[in-house]
């Protein structure tokens, strides 16, 4: 019997390269660097229970949340891999207040900038639950040869040239898009390669999972409360009641819903009136992937996430994403109230 043909991340990237708008091989190289950094973080995540890497590092990031050691490790690993690629001129990361500007001779001429959440779901590190890394790649606006500026990072999500995430779960997977569909790779630790596992990922138009932190119920806008009631009411013709599933790692919650069909909601609440998730590091890349898989991503108030013009690096936003019909349904409940975002 003929063995199955395995296609590695690098092979697929090279095949797709000719379709990139700026096909100088740069973006391919960048994605390759990213894959290597992901493998390094994967290794560390897998050893997290064994070595002294668990626990809080004693610093608080810009969002006021405790940084865990792995957050810092992942942040450093990805930043140094982007720097050594020589193609990236700077990075904005959830973990650092200001943009990280690369000024060495090679990087300053780089055409790309990155926004990333190096470790997503950090509250789950200590308890052996899936976590992730989210990234987003743009072409810079400022002239190559000069240091990048904050404006380079405040581009609308629809300008992303690539985006993706790594999920460190029961397997480690890398899911990315360059605007040619959403593709998934699974790390085969025995050969140390990401192997093509999910080509042309398509999320079901309709699903039966809703993912939201229901502990915040009393703080939700009325439209969200009404939609949740709709999810819970029995109606066999629409597969209701839906199942409630919430891990608390956006990457893991989104990944499950992407494959099975479902909706993820992190609305604004009375204590987080702008929402909690970050537009640049979390929502834009996830929105790009969702749309490329046939899903939707909005702020719940009729605005496509990818069309929001960011005003600041660490901007937060209300976030609704997943199966297209479910997002539309949730929005129809939201629109009954005179709330605008
Ligand atoms: P991070 O670990 O990068 O700070 O992100 C956590 C995010 C996201 O992954 C998740 O969906 C959400 O915060 C969970 O928030 P709650 O604990 O408020 O539900
Ligand atoms: Mn996060
Ligand atoms: Mn994070």
Residues paired with 111 in a beta bridge? none
- Closest Cα partner for 32 from 13, 51, 50? 13
Q: At what angle do helices 26-46 and 9-16 cross, to 10 degrees?
A: 160
- Tokens coding 298: 């909005």
Tell me the residue ranges of DSSP E strands in 143-295. Answer: 162-168, 172-177, 182-188, 193-198, 209-211, 243-244, 263-266
Tracing tokens 């990401």 back to the chain, one arrives at 194
| Model pLDDT, residue 1 | 43
- Taking the C-alpha atoms of residue 298 and residue 287, their distance in angstroms, rounded to an integer, is 8
Ligand 1 atom closest to 120 (CA): 3
- Taking the C-alpha atoms of residue 216 and residue 97, their distance in angstroms, rounded to an integer, is 27
Are 150 and 89 a contacting pair, CB within 8 Å? Answer: no
Length of the chain: 341
Tell me the residue ranges of DSSP E strands in the chain. Answer: 56-60, 66-68, 88-93, 100-101, 112-120, 131-139, 162-168, 172-177, 182-188, 193-198, 209-211, 243-244, 263-266, 296-298, 319-322
Which DSSP helix (H) or strand (E) runs through 56?
strand 56-60
- Atom 11 (ligand 1): residue with closest C-alpha? 250
pLDDT under 70: residue ranges of the chain: 1-4, 19-24, 49-58, 64-68, 340-341
Ligand 2 centroid distance, CA of 250 (Å): 6
Task: Give Cβ neighbours of residue 156 (< 8 Å, ≥ 6 apart).
Answer: 306, 307, 308, 309, 310
- Closest Cα partner for 49 from 129, 132, 115? 129
Ligand 2 centroid distance, CA of 169 (Å): 15
Strands 112-120 and 88-93: parallel
Ligand 1 centroid distance, CA of 176 (Å): 21
- Taking the C-alpha atoms of residue 196 and residue 114, their distance in angstroms, rounded to an integer, is 24
* CATH 3.40.190.80, applies to 209-334: yes
- Atom 19 (ligand 1): residue with closest C-alpha? 213
Instruction: Delimit the CATH 3.40.190.80 region(s) of the chain.
Output: 209-334
**Site residues for ligand 1, CB cut-off 6 Å:** 65, 94, 117, 120-122, 213, 248-250, 266, 276
238-274: pLDDT as tens digits: 999 999 999 999 999 999 999 999 999 999 999 999 9
Place domain 9-200 in its CATH homologous superfamily.
Fructose-1,6-Bisphosphatase, subunit A, domain 1 (3.30.540.10)
| Model pLDDT, residue 49 | 67
| Model pLDDT, residue 341 | 53
- Taking the C-alpha atoms of residue 50 and residue 47, their distance in angstroms, rounded to an integer, is 5
- Taking the C-alpha atoms of residue 182 and residue 289, their distance in angstroms, rounded to an integer, is 6
| Model pLDDT, residue 339 | 72
Best of 123, 247, 255, 319 to mutate for ligand 1, by most ligand atoms within 8 A of CB?
A: 123
Instruction: Delimit the CATH 3.30.540.10 region(s) of the chain.
Output: 9-200
154-177: pLDDT as tens digits: 999 999 999 999 999 999 999 999
Longest dimension (CA), the chain: 63
């Amino acid at each position: 019997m003929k063995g199955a043909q395995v296609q590695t991340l690098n092979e697929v990237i090279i095949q797709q390269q000719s379709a990139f708008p700026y096909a100088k091989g740069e973006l391919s190289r960048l994605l390759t660097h990213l894959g290597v950094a992901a493998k390094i973080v994967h290794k560390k995540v897998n050893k997290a229970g064994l070595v002294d890497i668990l626990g809080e590092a004693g610093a608080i990031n810009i969002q006021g949340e405790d940084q865990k050691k792995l957050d810092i490790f992942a942040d450093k690993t990805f930043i140094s891999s982007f720097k050594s690629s020589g193609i990236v001129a700077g990075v904005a990361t959830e973990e650092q207040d200001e943009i990280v500007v690369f000024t060495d001779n090679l990087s300053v001429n780089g055409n790309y900038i990155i926004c990333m959440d190096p470790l997503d779901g950090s509250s789950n590190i200590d308890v052996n639950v899936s976590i992730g890394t989210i990234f987003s790649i743009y072409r810079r606006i400022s002239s190559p040869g000069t240091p990048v500026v904050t404006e380079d990072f405040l581009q609308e999500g629809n300008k992303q040239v690539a985006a993706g995430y790594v999920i460190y779960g029961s397997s480690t997977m890398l899911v990315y898009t360059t605007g040619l569909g959403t593709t998934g790779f699974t790390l085969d630790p025995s050969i140390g390669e990401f192997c093509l596992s999910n080509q042309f990922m398509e999320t079901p138009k309709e699903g039966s999972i809703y993912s939201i932190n229901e502990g915040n119920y009393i703080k939700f806008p009325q439209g969200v409360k009404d939609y949740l009631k709709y999810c819970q009411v029995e109606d066999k013709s629409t597969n209701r009641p839906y199942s409630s599933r919430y891990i608390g790692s956006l990457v893991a919650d989104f990944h499950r819903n992407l494959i099975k069909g479902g909706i993820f909601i992190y609305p604004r609440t009375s204590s987080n009136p702008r929402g909690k998730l970050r537009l640049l590091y979390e929502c834009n890349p996830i929105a790009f992937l969702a749309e490329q898989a046939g899903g939707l991503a909005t702020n719940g108030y009729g605005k496509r996430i990818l069309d929001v013009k960011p005003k600041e690096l660490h901007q937060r936003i209300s976030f609704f994403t997943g199966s297209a019909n479910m997002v539309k349904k949730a929005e129809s409940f939201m629109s009954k109230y005179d709330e605008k975002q």
